[in-house]
Structure 1
Amino acid sequence: MQPFPAYFCSLLQSLGRRPSSGRYRPELDGLRCMAILIVMIWHASLKIMRFTATSGITESVDNPKVAWIPDGAVGVALFFFLSGMVICRPFLSGTYHTTKRSLQDFYRSRLIRIVPPYALVLLSCYLVIGVLGHTPERASTFEVKQISPAASLGASLFYLHGLIFSSPPRLSPPGWSLEIEMQFYLIAPALIVAYLALRHRMSRLLLGIAVIIGSVVLRLWLVETYGEYGRFRWTLLNYFPVFMLGIVVADLTRAEEVRPSHETLPDMLCLGSVLLLLLPGIFRHPVGWTERLAADAATLAALVGLYYGVTRGRIANRLFSLRALTIIGTACYSIYLTHVPLMHFVGQLFFKLVQVGDYPSAWSLGLLLLLPLSLIFGMIFHILVERPFVQLAANRPVPEIRGIAIRS
């Protein structure tokens, strides 16, 4: 049996993304790491605020205690942008065609990779809440909406919770974004094939820009008509411009060989884009269509600038390609699935045992506890649960680490 340090190093080396086609782009996993960290910091801050509140009523996300922390939705927007790019690339390279077999392979790969880990998390939460009868304290999905755990489970398993109940899933609140992602997968092949039907790149660019502008205008109209928390909020309509932007950027950059520049402009653009992306998350409830339009434009511009800066900036490319960040980015789906239940359970227990007088101290202690634990647990879930399905979807053999088979 090999020494633990050597085994641990071998395990770390085995982690990371192995694309089925094309060259691996580590900086994209670095961007996924950034996205999941934004989401985790937001959710941890909400948990800490609620567990340290003096009242028994779940406090609002607009509480001054978290006013300066960017909303996790900006991290989700970054995820959706990258998803649009990743889904589009196999169609650009010719990996997927319009044949029935290719479409079956596309949907088979998506379903095998995504559905089983999510279903396991849902069923585990249902076992604790629906069967054992444990009710999470100060959980917004249990104080705002009265939906039975069984009904919530059924709707969530079919990715229909937002459409049916107009609210995030009770058992796994972050699942609202997975439902939107699944809606995108349903139309992505037809959408991308129709987009690529135009042979000239400039024509496709103009079409893509027109679709993005049109979808932004539609989104603004829906908000003005039905309110910010209207039923459309939990549908693809609310984030379609971001997905479409990913498709357009993938098309515009597919023939380019990415080489970081020695100029400082891309690095400066990357830093500015990070700050610009976080702004809509801080000013999370713009008033009036002009402010909403400015927020949408800032988000879209920040995503483009961030991608350009990370792929072209010498310092930014090195930073976002760091091994530690790419490993987290590779496991971001598992971390996303598991971090909220873990944060709620650990945070609830911790702040019952440890009395903290002020929110800044509670926030600091809570982040030091919840973030590392969530990353570790998510990584374990990734190795034991997600990666076997990734390998199954790609029809790959299970790799070995110095003679030891690893389920990955």
Structure 2
Amino acid sequence: MFIGAASGIFAAPKDTLDAQGMKDSNRLESLTFFRFIAAASVVIFHYGRDTQFYKLLPSVLAAGSIAVTFFFVLSGFVIALSSIKKEFSVGGFYVDRLARILPVYLIALVLTLALIGLVGKDTELILSVLMLQSWVSPYPLSLNMPAWSVSVEMAFYLLAPALIVLARKGVGSPVVWIAVSCVFWLATQLVLSSINQSEFATLNPSRAVDIVYYFPPAHFCSFVLGFSGGYAYSRLKAGGAYAQAKNVVLFILSIVVIYALSKTGRVINDFFGEKFAYGSSFYAVVFLFFIYSCAVCNHAIPRFMKGKLSTLLGDASYALYIMQMPVYLLLSRFYPSSATGYELHFWTYFALLLAVSVSLHILVEKPIVKAVKKRRLEANEKIVVAA
């Protein structure tokens, strides 16, 4: 199953407040680093499952089929942080989002088409260009397969402005937001589980998979949970040394819980008598626990995770994700694994993908995002002068 994430997931939160009530250094560097770890684990899951390195990974990093939930929760968290306490307009929100995701998305799509051909793929192309492939079965994995999650992310963007407006108006306390989003998550899991066990899934297995794992509404609860967590984090008050020590303990506990759950799927199924969709938002609550704990412990994260190299890798993680298939196809065409063996082929591929991703971030993503923001700022200044 191809999994992944969209640009909102990888965009770093700006000018947030840390748990001490002080300005962060423009972003939560710990989340930037973990974006890279998550994106790299997805790539290894897709193309490196026969490597010795993969066999040594802990189950939570080797279980690529659940990583999509982490990305979607992180997306909601980051969008909340980057929107609630700064100037916001619906138009500006969509311009910023599209400027971030479209350029590299289209580069990946064009390269994929050049490598696999377009004959007989008119419908797939139209849906992919419009980012609607995840809505229509059997097309979620058409063309550049990991891009299905970008389609899901676009659905999140339709929902995000309403959540942002409510949060900015202070409608509901953080506790209420978390509680409501948890109820929404639970209801979603029950629906997905019932689909998994239904006669429809037995008679239409591929369509059921598309609905349970790729259909955007199946993942809305992850985004809403993440947004609620980001809203709660933005309302944090200053805390003392005791609070900070407690946060570190919670962060460690969140890692333990995620690791334990990643190894007990069958036990959970047997206990509840359900067939839960583990790759579709099941882990959203514990991933929010981890992301929130990571945010409040940002000051305690090891320094190497906040360095320039770690930040660069985190910033390039969207390109790392979206380019994984076309780069693999390109390398395999000119340098097949049979020539050198699987292990060397994979690490050559990963090194090339990393170089391509960093280059695209520096040469394409950053300049375009900077130019768009500059144009928007100039347009706003003209409006103010005219008024």
Settle same-fold status: TM greater than 0.5. yes
1:190 to 146, 155, 162: 162
Question: Are the equivalent residues in 1 in contact too, given 2:77–2:227 (CA < 8 A)?
Answer: yes
- Unmatched tracts of structure 2, length 5 or more: 1-9, 17-25, 202-207, 377-387
Looking at structure 1, the residues matched to 188 and 138 of structure 2 have their Cα atoms a distance apart, in angstroms, of 19
Q: Aligned residue pairs: how many?
A: 338
Structure 1: how far apart are the matches of 2:106 and 2:116? 15
Q: Please state if 1:237 is matched with 2:217.
A: yes
Show structure 1 runs of 5+ residues with no match: 1-15, 50-63, 97-101, 134-147, 356-361, 398-408
Which residue pairs with 1:85 in the alignment?
Answer: 77
Deviation at 1:179, TM superposition (A): 0.7
Q: Distance in 2 between matches of 1:65 and 1:152?
A: 37
Match of 1:270 in 2: 251
Whether 1:394 aligns to 2:373 is: yes
Using the TM superposition, name which of 122-131 and 288-297 deviates more.
288-297
Query: Could you tell me whether the CA contact under 8 Å between 2:75 and 2:226 is conserved in 1?
Result: yes
CA distance in 1, matches of 2:241, 2:184: 34
Contact 1:161 1:168 in 2 (8 A): yes
Match of 1:56 in 2: none
* 2:98 is aligned with 1:111: yes
Matches within 5 A, 1:47-126: 48=50, 70-96=62-88, 102-126=89-113
Q: Is the 8 A contact 1:89 1:250 kept in 2?
A: yes
Indicate how the Cα distance of structure 1 residues 234 and 105 shifts in structure 2: closer, same or farther if over 3 A, else same.
Answer: same
Give the corresponding residue for 2:301: 316
Distance 1:276 1:166, change over 3 A: farther
| Cα distance in structure 2, aligned partners of 1:40 and 1:258 | 39
Q: What's the CA shift for 1:42?
A: 0.8
Counterpart in the other structure of 1:35: 38
What is the distance in 2 between the residues matched to 1:257 and 1:67? 35
Q: Which deviates further from its counterpart, 302-311 or 111-120?
A: 302-311
Range that drifts further, 251-260 or 159-168: 251-260
Contact 2:12-2:28 at 8 Å conserved across structures: no
**Counterpart Cα distance in 2 of 1:216 and 1:94:** 32
Alignment correspondent of 1:358: none
Distance in 1 separating the partners of 2:290 and 2:195: 31
Offset of residue 216 of structure 1: 2.8
Equivalent residue in structure 2 for 1:354, among 340, 361, 365: 340
Q: Give the structure 2 partner of residue 44 of structure 1.
A: 47
Deviation at 1:307, TM superposition (A): 3.2
Q: Deviations over 1:74-94 (max 9, x none)?
A: 332222222112222344214
| Superposition pairs of residues 193-204 of structure 1, within 5 angstroms | 193-195=165-167, 197-201=169-173, 204=174
Verify: 1:372 aligned to 2:359, yes or no.
no
The equivalent of 1:216 in structure 2 is 186
Render the CA deviation track for 1:360-398: whole Å, top value 9, x for unaligned. Answer: xx45x455333222211111122222222211232279x
Residue number in structure 1 paired with 2:115? 128
Q: CA contact under 8 A between 1:71 and 1:282: conserved in structure 2? A: no
Conserved in 1, the CA contact under 8 Å of 2:63 and 2:262? yes
Q: Distance in 2 between matches of 1:149 and 1:294?
A: 30
Which letter does structure 2 place at the counterpart of 1:189?
Answer: P
Q: Per-residue displacement from partner, 1:294-319 (whole Å, max 9, x unpaired)?
A: 96665422431343145327653535
- 1:340/1:275 CA distance change after superposition, 3 Å: farther
SS in 2 for 1:95: coil
Distance 1:384 1:191, change over 3 A: same
Judged with a 3 Å threshold, the aligned counterparts in structure 2 of structure 1 residues 167 and 352 are, in CA distance, closer, same or farther, namely same
Provide TM-score, normalisation by structure 2.
0.73
How far does the alpha carbon of each residue in 1:116-151 deviate from its partner, in whole angstroms, 9 at most, with x for none? Answer: 2211211221122225x8xxxxxxxxxxxxxx3332
% identical equivalent positions: 23
The Cα of 1:169 is off from its aligned counterpart by 3.0
Does the 8 Å contact 2:66/2:283 carry over to 1?
no
TM-score (normalizing by structure 1): 0.70
Larger deviation: 119-128 or 341-350? 341-350
2:314 aligns with 329
- Separation in 1, partners of 2:66, 2:227: 18
Superposed CA RMSD in Å reads: 3.7
Task: Decide whether the 8 Å contact of 1:71 with 1:281 is kept in 2.
Answer: yes
Distance 2:129 2:263 in 1: 32
SS in 1 for 2:236: coil
Tell me what 1:252 maps to. 232
SS in 1 for 2:313: helix
